[in-house]
Structure formats: structure tokens, C-alpha cells
Structure 1
Amino acid sequence: MDMSAKIGERPEAIRRVTKIYAAFLIAGFALSPAFLIAYLYFFQDPALKFENHLFHEFAITGATIEGLFVTYVSWRCYLSSGEPLLRWLTLGFLGFTLIYVLHGAFTGMAHHNIWLFLLYGPASRLAMAILLLIGLLSFNQEPDTPAQRVNPHTWLAWIAAFLVIDVAVAVAAYSPFAGSPALRLSMEGGALMFSAINLSVMLMGRIRSPLMTIFGISIALFGLSSLAFILGKPWNHMWWLAHAIFAGGFFILSYGIVKAFHTTRSFANIYNQEEMVNRLAMAMVRTESALQELQRSNQMLEHLASTDPLTGAANRRHFIERVDAEIARAKRDNLSFALLALDLDNFKAINDRYGHQVGDQVLQGFVQKCTEQIRPYDSVARMGGEEFMVLLPQATQELAVTIGERIREATESAVFDSIVIPKLALTVSIGVSQFGLDGSTIDTIFRAADERLYRAKNQGRNCVIME
């Protein structure tokens, strides 16, 4: 294998290695709190505690305000995209906030009824874990209709359900089962289990995008926080670490929501650097194709606007523009040019005898003959009916007569075949004018060419007149 081939393979190999490396980095970041949990589990002093009710209440107040804010942003994204995942994310944030706020409100009850204080935390995390799993299972489903998004009954029903959970937790806290650690561990373990299921669904479904990666990291942190709560005791270091891990997951997921709000307001159809590059490349190709098509359309329109549709020669308007431009160039560079005024002889008789279809074929054939006899940069125009003009840039009157004679002879000797008649002879009369010699305005040189054309008609037709 040559050196160039080896060099060509390296970027692909590096791309694969860096992808694997990036995946390990994400996994390491998501699971990094596990090392802190293990450290505290094996090395912390169980007797050490930090019991500060005011600090706890302040932290829960901040979490509640942030929860309400992120709930609102998620809801705004959902209203815009109708994505089911965002609906469940909104409900997850809302349910967590409405349940978790009582965990802070009852901080003062820690010495009176510890379970009224403790149970709202795992209940809020369990509710959020369940709703996030439901949201993940709805990933890439059809968006909700606008009517479904703003239906107040749906949102009020969920708010009522969360308030019922609040009441149910309070009843459980005062029930005989409250003293059993199994109640708290079952809720915290349920949150851990649903978080693990969430991650498994993501990995098996190979759901990849930057925002869904953020979603997965947050779920991992939520699961690890539940593990830390299971291992911790109220107010000890593990318990506080569990709060910090959950807050980290909440912050990261909130960041994802804000990024969605500032981009597509969607988690499914969100930016992916590789996908964005591909889409941008495709969009550029489509744009370039559209520009080329537009250019072709403009050229076609310009051609149609400047061309006689029957013969393909320039039309009167375009020919006059060409002559005006040639006059300006001739004056600027002290040059000359010439005009030929042409009129087919007895063309009306052809139309009357053989019909307009044959007449049209004759006109098309005549323009073809003219084009063959003139120079590449000369131009033929149909001025109307059987009247034509030829612009001859940088031509003297003598050269114009020579070209006119070529056209006359080619027309006279040509045979215009038709489906109606076997052959048809045709002649043309031509008048010649020259810029400068016959005037320096478009009117004067047109008039001179027309007058000589009429003189050619009066002198028997089928001739070229220059004076």
C-alpha cells in the first residue's frame, strides 16, 4: 500500500478512536460522583453531621424557584414544538417542584416527625424518574396538536395528581408504616431503578444527540443521588453529597432545556454537530442548485424578453438597445458600424397563396440564412412582419454591402421546402446605412437604411442599395 493510501486511512482511524474516547469521557463524567459516594461510604466518620435547618430551607427555596422557572421554559418549548418528550419533561419538573417544596417547608419538623420531613424528597425524585422514563419512551413520536398543547384540563389534572401525592405522603408519614425504613428505601430505590431503566433505554435505542446526551448524564446523576440517599443518614456528609449530586443533574438538565429553547425548542430535532454539518452541506447544495436554476430561469426570461418567438432573431426592443450601445461605443472609441434594412419581396403573396404556416416556415428559414452569412458578433432582428435589420459592428458601408450581397445571394439561391409545396423561391431587398456617414443618431441611421430599402424595392427588388 502506498504512503498516500496510508495517510488517507489515518483520519478515519483517528475519528473512531476519538469517538470512543469522547464516549468514555461522557461516561466518566456521568459516573464520577460514584467515586465520591464510595469514598464517603468507606472513609467518613458516621458521627459527623452538619444539621443546619436555615441553610437547608434556603437551598430548597432556590431549588423550588429554579424548578418553577425550568418548568415554564420547558412548557414554552412544548407549546412551540408539541414534542411529547417535552410534555413529560415539563410534568417531571412540575411534579418534582410541587412535591419537593414540602421537603423544605417541613424542615422544622425534623425533630418532631422525621418522616414528614424525609419522605417528600424520595417521593419527588420517584415521581420525576417515572415521568422522565415515560418521556423517553415517547421520544420521536408525532407532535401533539396545538389544541392538545394548551388544553387546561390536562395540566390541571396533573397538578391535582401531584397535590394528591403531597397529601398521600403526609398520611404515610403519620401512618404506622412511617417508622419502617422500607417505606423510604422503596421510594428511593424506585427512583434509582427507574433511572437505571431510563439509561438502558437510551443505550439500547442508540439515542444520540447533544441534548439527549445531556439528558442521559442528568439521569445518571439522579440515579447516583438516589444511591447516595439510600446509603446516607439524615444530615450526614453522604446525605448532603446526595443533595449536591441531584442538584448537579438538575442543573445540567436545565441547561439542556435552555439550549433547546434557544435553538429548535425541541429535544428530538436538535442540533448535532455532525448532523448540522451534513444538513448545512445539503442546504448549500440545494441553495446552489436553486441559484443555478434561478440563473437559468432568468437567462431564459431574458432571452424570451429579447427574442422574436417565431424566428429566434432579436426583437425590435432588444435590437434598439444594441444599436444604442453600439452608438455609445462608436462615439467613445471613434469607431463606425453599419446597418442593413431587409424586406422579403412579395412575402404577402406567399402568405395569401400558401397560408401563414408556410409563411412562418419561410421567415424561419430566412433568418437561418442570414445567420449563416453574417459574422459571429453581428446580430439579426425582426422588426415586424417580413422586415428585418442586421447590426454590423465596426463595419464600413463597403463591408456592409458585401455582407448584404451574401445574404441576398443566399436567399435567392435557397430552396425553402414545405409540406404544402415542393419548393419556394424567395428574394430580399436591402438598404445600407453607416453611422457617422449617414448621421450620428439612431433615428438618422435607421431612416437612411429604410429610405435605401424602399429605393431597392422601387428599382425592381432583389438588390442592395447603399446610396
Structure 2
Amino acid sequence: MSASERTQVNEPHPVVRLATQIYARLLLVGFALVPAYLIGYLFFFQDAALRFENHAFHEIAIAAATLEGLFVTYVTWRCYRSSGEPLLRWMTLGFFGFVLIYALHGAFTGLAHHNIWLFLLYGPASRLAMSVLLLVGLLSYSKPADPVNRRVDTRYWLAWVMTFLVVDVLVALLANSDLAGIFTVRVMESAALVFSTLNVTCLLLRRIRSPLMLIYAISVSSFALSSLAFLLGKPWNHMWWLAHAIFAGGFFLLSYGVVQAFLTTRSFATIYSQEELTRRLAEAMARTESALQELQRTNQTLEHLASTDPLTGAANRRKFIERVGAEIARAKRDGAPFSLLSLDLDNFKWINDCYGHQVGDTVLQGFVQACLDAIRPYDGVARVGGEEFMVLLPKAGLDAALAIGERVRQATASTLFAREIGRSISVTVSIGISQFGRDGNTIDAILRVADERLYHAKRCGRNCVIAV
């Protein structure tokens, strides 16, 4: 059974396949919306006035997030250096921008009671910067890889570092201006929510379904839901802490995707889903099976060419010796005799000299066919020289071989050759016969005896069969 046939046998019913696909997608949607369930629970069943204000815990959490962000930024950058995918370039910038801006959110935790806006504004600013850069990266998905010189351009990366530092300064100035306030925080958080939602929408519209982009979609959904939780929460209450946890979960998941890319293809575009891998595997198996069949046919053709005389189609000397060796082994095992005919066309050089080699080749082809018609179906004809031939006669003693040799001689003498090319050439054949056991017990011995009797037939006037 071929690979394609096995695949068809194991293929589930289309209805079952459709149902499982729908179920799998619903599971993914349900998983992506888990943060929404938690947000709804706190919003409807928890007292928004409950607070957990712990500066040390917040500072430690931000420090850990900063270190992790730096590590993920480096891994993403290494992937980009290897593959040159524009998406990875923008993801690197998104992670790095988030780290450089978000670190100040933790650094200014102690100022929460002195300048609440300096503490709060860096959070939405970092999320807004990352969501914008991720969206730009998503729009570049599947575009050609960046050239190598751009991947290693230090000035490009330094320019972005300066840009992020400028954003830090601008946020500080905004926090100390008259524009600082809850409205500004909500505007920035709402913008982060919008850009994250645009990311998800773009993914759905472009129908990008590779495994890593699926992780990307769920992560960006978490970023959008974390912005929603920040909008619903207040500093230090449980919704505010949940927003941090939701964002961290999305960040962890996206960093997992980056690490998977780093450990495999260094690309977000060339890691395939299980379904895609199964399909590709089936195609590869079918191609492999087809290649093996073609290789088998080629090997058979090569074996045939290696064992066949290309002009006459008879076996060549190497194949004939192999068959004689096998027949000797069988004869020693079973005790059954076999014989050889050594044949040589009489005065064949004269035919080539008078009519040309094309006519001579046609005569040789006709002679092989005449032999095949005269011998038994399981006997074998081989061309061992220019006009020299051998015939293997399994299970034939000297008397039977003599009768078969005489049939070959008569068939040759009574046939007009080369008529298909407008000629009528008569030719005769001289034949010598040897029998295994009677005339020798080795290949060399019986071949030598058959050749000696062939030469005897030549000396006796040609066109005869000599068996003793």
C-alpha cells in the first residue's frame, strides 16, 4: 500500500474533521479569554476599594520583569540577526522599548505618594510603545528578510535607544506638567488597548495561523485585556494587580514563542503547526515512495544494461558466467546435467567488409532471434564476442544439446538475414558442445572444451556441430 493510499485510509470523515477543527479553535478562543473572565469576576464581585499597597513587592516584580525583558530582547535580536525577518526586528524594538520605559515605573514606585503621575504614566507609556511597535511588526509579516548590513547596523539600534530615552524624558515632563492626571493615564492606556486590539484584528483578517503567530495572537490579546483591566482598576486595588498579572502572562507566553524560534528555526514564519507538519510529512512520504520506486526502476534498468548486450539484447559475458556458476551449484546439488553451446558465425568478417557494419549488426540481431526460436524457453543466449555466442542448456545432456545445436545450425542456414533493410544475407554457424561433469567440473574447463570443439567444427569445414 502506498503512502497516499495509507493516508486516505486513515483520513477521518470530513464531518469529524470539521467538528474537531471547530472545537480546537473554540478552545484557543476560550484560553485567550481567560483573563476576561477574571476581569469580569473582580469587576462584579469584588470591592474596588480593597487595596494591597506594597512598594517592595512592586519594585521586586518590576525588577524581575526588566531583567526578563532584557533577556527576551537579546534572544529576539539573535533570532533577527539569523533570519532577518522584519517582524523579529520590530519585536526586538517592542521588547526593548518596553523595558527602557517600564523600568522607570518600578524605579519611581517610592514616589507614588509624592508624584503619583510620575509613578503611573510610565506603565501605560511602555505598553503603548510596545503595542505600536508590535503592530508595525505584524504589518511586515512575510516580507523579505532584511539585508545583513541592516541587521548589524549599530547606528540603527542606537537611534532607537535614544528614541526610547527621549520618551522617558517626555513622560517625566508630562508627569510634572499641568496635563498630568487620570485623564492622561486613561488616554494612554486606551491607546495601548486600541493598538493591541488592532494587532489581534489584523491577525484574524490576514488568517495567519502558524504556531508561533498563534502564541503571538494570544499574547497580544492578553496585552489588550491587561489595558482594559488597568482602565477599570485603580492604583493598588486588586483589579490593578490583576492587570499586571495579565500583562505578565501575555509577556511570558510571547517570550516562550521567541525562545521556541531561537531553539528551532530562528524564525517566526517557518515553524509549522502539527496539522501542517502532518500534511508535509504525508507529502514527503509520498515523494520518498515515488523516488524509491523510480530508483528501483532505474536500478532494474541499470542491472539490465549491465547484463545485456546493447546491440542484440542477448546476455553479455558477465551475466552468462553468473548463470553458468548458478547452474553448476544447482547441478552439484541436484545431480542434473547441463551443457554449453559455443557458437561462431562463419565468415562474418566478409559480411562486414562487403556490406558494411550496419548490415553486419542487423545479421547479428537476426541470428540471436533465430537462436531464441530454436532453443527452449528457459535456455539462455549470450554474446561473448563480436560474432561469438554461447548458449546455456539447463538439464540437458550431450545428446539433447546436440539436437538443440543442430536446430540452431539449421535455423541459421535456412534464414535470410537483413531483409528488413533491403538485403538478403545467408550465413552459417559452427557450434561446439560441452557437458558439465563429462567434460569438466569448473566453468573454465567446460568453456575451454566447448571452444576447442568449436574450433574443430571450423577445421571440419564450418556449418556443423561438434559434440565429441
TM-score of the two chains, using structure 2 as the length reference? 0.93
In 1, Cα distance between the equivalents of 2:281 and 2:326? 43
Secondary structure of residue in 1 paired with 2:416: coil
Aligned-partner Cα distance in 2 for 1:20–1:411: 78
1:29 — aligned with what?
Answer: 31
Q: 3-state SS of the aligned residue for 2:230?
A: helix
Aligned to 1:58: 60
Moved more, 195-204 or 10-19: 10-19
Matched, 1:453 2:462: no
Q: 1:454 to 1:211 in 2, by over 3 A?
A: same
- CA shift in 2, pair 1:358/1:138, >3 Å: same
Instruction: After superposing the two structures, state which structure 1 stretch, 12-21 or 190-199, moved more.
Output: 12-21
Q: 1:4 — aligned with what?
A: none
Match for residue 267 of structure 1? 268
Shift of 1:22: 2.3
RMSD: 2.1
- What CA distance in whole angstroms lies between the structure 2 residues aligned with 1:443 and 1:229? 98
Question: Per the alignment, do residues 95 and 336 of structure 1 end up closer, same or farther by CA in structure 2, a change over 3 Å counting?
Answer: farther
The letter of the residue matching 1:100 is Y
> In structure 2, what is the Cα distance between the partners aligned to 1:303 and 1:317?
12
- 1:184-223 to 2 correspondences below 5 Å: 184-223=185-224
Q: Work out whether residues 344 and 387 of structure 1, in 8 Å CA contact, stay in contact via their aligned partners in 2.
A: yes
Moved more, 214-223 or 140-149: 140-149
Quote the residue 1:49 is aligned against.
Answer: 51
Partner of 1:3: none
Match of 2:150 in 1: 148
Alpha-carbon shift at residue 84 of structure 1 (Å) = 1.9
Q: Would you say 1:250 and 2:251 are equivalent positions?
A: yes
**Residue in structure 2 matching 1:16, options 15, 18, 22:** 18
Partner deviation per Cα, 1:353-399 (whole Å, 9 max, x = no partner): 00111111111111122223333332221111101111222322222
Query: Is 1:174 the equivalent of 2:198?
Result: no
2:417 is paired with a residue whose SS is coil
- How far has the Cα of 1:420 moved from its partner? 6.2
Tell me which residue corresponds to 1:318.
Answer: 319
Deviation of residue 9 (structure 1)?
12
In structure 2, the CA distance between the partners of 1:409 and 1:150, relative to structure 1 (3 Å rule), is farther
Q: Which residue identity does 2:378 align to in structure 1?
A: Y
Aligned to 2:306: 305
What is the identity percentage for the equivalent residue pairs of Structure 1 and Structure 2? 68
Structure 1: distance between partners of 2:280 and 2:24: 23
2:165 aligned to 163, 166, 188, which one? 163
Q: Which moved more, 1:342-351 or 1:253-262?
A: 253-262
How big is the shift at 1:416? Answer: 1.2
The within-5 A match list for 1:57-456 is 57-178=59-180, 180-418=181-419, 421-456=422-457
CA deviations 1:143-173 (Å, max 9, x no partner) are 2233333333322322222222222222222
Q: Secondary structure at the match of 1:340?
A: strand
Runs of 5+ in structure 2 lacking a partner?
1-9
Retained in 2: the 8 A contact 1:361–1:418? no
Distance change (3 Å), C-alpha of 1:378 and 1:87: farther
Kept in 1: contact 2:90–2:136 (CA 8 A):
yes
Task: Determine if contact 1:354/1:420 at 8 Å carries over to the other structure.
Answer: no
Contact kept? 1:358, 1:418, Cα under 8 Å: no
Cα distance in 1 for partners of 2:379, 2:146 equals: 66
- Cα separation, partners in 2 of 1:282 and 1:107, compared to 1, 3 Å: same
C-alpha distance in 2 between matches for 1:10 and 1:419? 61
Shift in Å, 1:418: 4.6
Per mean C-alpha deviation after superposition, the further-off stretch among 214-223 and 87-96 is 87-96
1:183-242 CA distance string (max 9 Å, x none): 221211111000111111112222223322221111111001001111211111111000
Aligned partner letter, 1:317 = R
Q: How many residues align?
A: 459
The alignment partner of 1:282 has SS state of helix
